[in-house]
Amino acid sequence: TWTPDAFVETTVTELKRKIGQDKVILGLSGGVDSTVAAILLHKAIGKHLHCIFVNNGLLRKNEFEDVLHQYKDMGLNVKGVDASARFLDALAGESDPEKKRKAIGRVFIEVFDDESHLVEDAKWLAQGTIYPDVIESVSATGGPSATIKSHHNVGGLPDFMKLNVVEPLRMLFKDEVRRVGASMGIDKTLLGRHPFPGPGLAIRILGDITPEKVAILQEVDAIFINGLKEWGLYDKVWQAGAMLLPVNSVGVMGDERTYEKCVALRAVESTDGMTADWVNLPYEFLQKTSNDIINKVKGVNRVVYDISSKPPATIEWE
Ligand code: XMP
């Protein structure tokens, strides 16, 4: 029978044998898969594993700093690369969802290629690919590996893609990855994190992206997600987030009429992201969250809750 402990033991032995003294590069995304893959490799080859964690400027509020600290605390050899400006420049004025995804994928590859050139004599590229990624084209798990996979047709292979690929989680399902992570002592809060798409908040800001819109959505998202945690609801939800709609609506503030933005909150139950049901969150929670958002986030005067299931409504709005 399969056990996480036995998997860790055999995989670490196998990785040691396969990689020896070579250097390995791995893109960390903050998600479960890349983190578990990194810790497994770290156990096998220690400092020969060079992790790269890119801030695309589209992460959740404080996520880059928080997750980078967590990685360092776990002993990983990780370099945080803040490329926010490069991503936001490439996205400026673009409102088409697929073109936004392509722009993000392209910049990610450029940044990752630049960074991987700094690791001299690297021989391997490690990826947190899991079994569902192997059989599906769009990964529900997000992260650099998904981004790289869906963009390797962008004019010539970047150098890091010519490296030998090592994918220690390729035979595992998500729940098995979590169990492997837990058996290696990875923090529960990290293992329980909701999936987050590789393009991040870019596909939750409908229409074109500006730094102001990113900042507004980060605040809204933080209030929603922290609220779910405070109310003990976070672990009951498979994925949650907020969408910034390209709609202004009229409101009143004191004696004045306002004309400000609307956000939609979305929380779904799912097992694999292929189908999903909206979650019946308590009215009291929605009421409190809506008030908090409208009172605290300047520029937002209306909050709606998405009660659509997938299919046909996808989890993301773009
Ligand atoms: P949809 O919106 O298609 O999302 O119902 C299903 C799952 O996939 C995630 N998602 C993405 N992940 N790059 C990713 O890495 C993407 O472009 C992307 N689009 C959607 C979404 O967050 C959900 O978990």
Identify residue 28 by its one-letter amino acid code.
L
- The answer to whether residues 163 and 215 belong to one domain is no
The predicted structure's pLDDT at residue 295: 96
DSSP label at 117? H
Rounded-to-integer distance, Cα 175 and Cα 41, Å: 19
Tell me the pLDDT tens digit for each residue of 59-87: 999 999 999 999 999 999 999 999 999 99
| 274 CA distance to ligand 1 middle (Å) | 9
Helix residue ranges, H only, 118-209: 131-135, 143-149, 174-183, 188-191
Q: Is residue 315 part of a domain?
A: no
Query: Which residue, by CA, sits nearest to atom 3 of ligand 1?
Result: 314
Percent of the chain at pLDDT > 70 equals: 94
List the structure tokens of 293. 């958002």
Probe target for ligand 1 pocket from 316, 317, 318, with the most ligand atoms within 8 Å of CB: 316
Beta carbons of 160 and 112 less than 8 angstroms apart = yes
Q: Does residue 310's CB lie within 6 angstroms of at least one atom of ligand 1?
A: yes
Rounded-to-integer distance, Cα 299 and Cα 210, Å: 14
Confidence band for 197, pLDDT divided at 50, 70 and 90: very high
- The answer to whether residues 208 and 180 belong to one domain is no
- The answer to whether residues 134 and 273 belong to one domain is no
Any idea what the CATH number is for the domain that residue 17 is in?
3.40.50.620
- pTM of the entire predicted model: 0.92
Beta carbons of 234 and 225 less than 8 angstroms apart = yes
| 146 CA distance to ligand 1 middle (Å) | 10
pLDDT at 149 over 60: no
Tell me the pLDDT tens digit for each residue of 234-282: 999 999 999 999 999 999 988 999 999 999 999 999 998 999 999 999 9
Probe target for ligand 1 pocket from 91, 138, 314, with the most ligand atoms within 8 Å of CB: 138
Q: Is residue 240 part of a domain?
A: yes
Residues with Cβ within 8 Å of residue 224, at least 6 apart in sequence? 240, 241, 242, 265, 289, 293
| 317 CA distance to ligand 1 middle (Å) | 10
Q: Is residue 316 part of a domain?
A: no
- The answer to whether residues 140 and 230 belong to one domain is no
DSSP H or E segment with residue 111:
helix 97-117
Pick the closest to residue 314 from 140, 153, 132, 158 (CA basis).
Answer: 140
Residues with Cβ within 8 Å of residue 16, at least 6 apart in sequence? 44, 45
Q: Does residue 295's CB lie within 6 angstroms of at least one atom of ligand 1?
A: no
Average pLDDT over residues 288-312: 98
pLDDT at 142 over 70: no
- The answer to whether residues 112 and 236 belong to one domain is no
| 139 CA distance to ligand 1 middle (Å) | 7
Tell me the pLDDT tens digit for each residue of 15-28: 999 999 999 999 99
How many separate domains does the chain show?
2
Pair type for strands 49-55 and 23-28: parallel
Average pLDDT of every residue of the chain: 94
Confidence band for 143, pLDDT divided at 50, 70 and 90: very low
Identify residue 74 by its one-letter amino acid code.
M
| 78 CA distance to ligand 1 middle (Å) | 26
Q: Which atom of ligand 1 is nearest the CA belonging to 316? A: 2
Any idea what the CATH number is for the domain that residue 242 is in?
3.30.300.10
Q: Is residue 313 part of a domain?
A: no
Residues with Cβ within 8 Å of residue 107, at least 6 apart in sequence? 56, 83, 86, 87, 90
> 66 among the known binding-site residues?
no
Backbone phi, psi, residue 262, to 5°: -120, 140
- The answer to whether residues 57 and 116 belong to one domain is yes
Average pLDDT over residues 153-179: 90
- The predicted complex's ipTM stands at 0.99
The phi-psi region of residue 62 (left if phi > 0; otherwise alpha if psi is between -120 and 50; otherwise beta) is left
Domain hosting residue 129, numbered range: 4-191
Query: What 3-state DSSP class applies to 299?
Result: coil
pLDDT at 308 over 80: yes
Q: Is residue 198 part of a domain?
A: no
| 119 CA distance to ligand 1 middle (Å) | 31
- The answer to whether residues 133 and 234 belong to one domain is no
Rounded-to-integer distance, Cα 139 and Cα 133, Å: 5
Is the model more confident about 253 or about 5? 5
- The answer to whether residues 163 and 209 belong to one domain is no
Q: Does residue 101's CB lie within 6 angstroms of at least one atom of ligand 1?
A: yes
Q: Is residue 52 part of a domain?
A: yes
The predicted structure's pLDDT at residue 155: 60
Rounded-to-integer distance, Cα 112 and Cα 163, Å: 13
- The answer to whether residues 106 and 236 belong to one domain is no
Q: How many CB atoms lie within 10 A of CB 97?
A: 16
Backbone phi, psi, residue 39, to 5°: -65, -40
Tell me the pLDDT tens digit for each residue of 83-135: 999 999 999 999 999 999 999 999 999 999 999 999 999 999 999 999 988 98
Q: Is residue 314 part of a domain?
A: no
The predicted structure's pLDDT at residue 137: 52
Confidence band for 136, pLDDT divided at 50, 70 and 90: confident
Q: Which of 135, 168, 191 is the last residue of a domain?
A: 191
Rounded-to-integer distance, Cα 171 and Cα 176, Å: 10
- The answer to whether residues 147 and 262 belong to one domain is no
Rounded-to-integer distance, Cα 170 and Cα 218, Å: 32
Q: Is residue 107 part of a domain?
A: yes
Confidence band for 139, pLDDT divided at 50, 70 and 90: very low
- The answer to whether residues 172 and 229 belong to one domain is no
Rounded-to-integer distance, Cα 242 and Cα 265, Å: 4
The predicted structure's pLDDT at residue 135: 85
- The answer to whether residues 29 and 142 belong to one domain is yes
| 140 CA distance to ligand 1 middle (Å) | 5
Q: Does residue 78's CB lie within 6 angstroms of at least one atom of ligand 1?
A: no
Q: Which of 133, 159, 191 is the last residue of a domain?
A: 191
Tell me the pLDDT tens digit for each residue of 157-166: 899 999 999 9
Probe target for ligand 1 pocket from 133, 206, 239, 315, with the most ligand atoms within 8 Å of CB: 315
Q: Which of 135, 166, 191 is the last residue of a domain?
A: 191
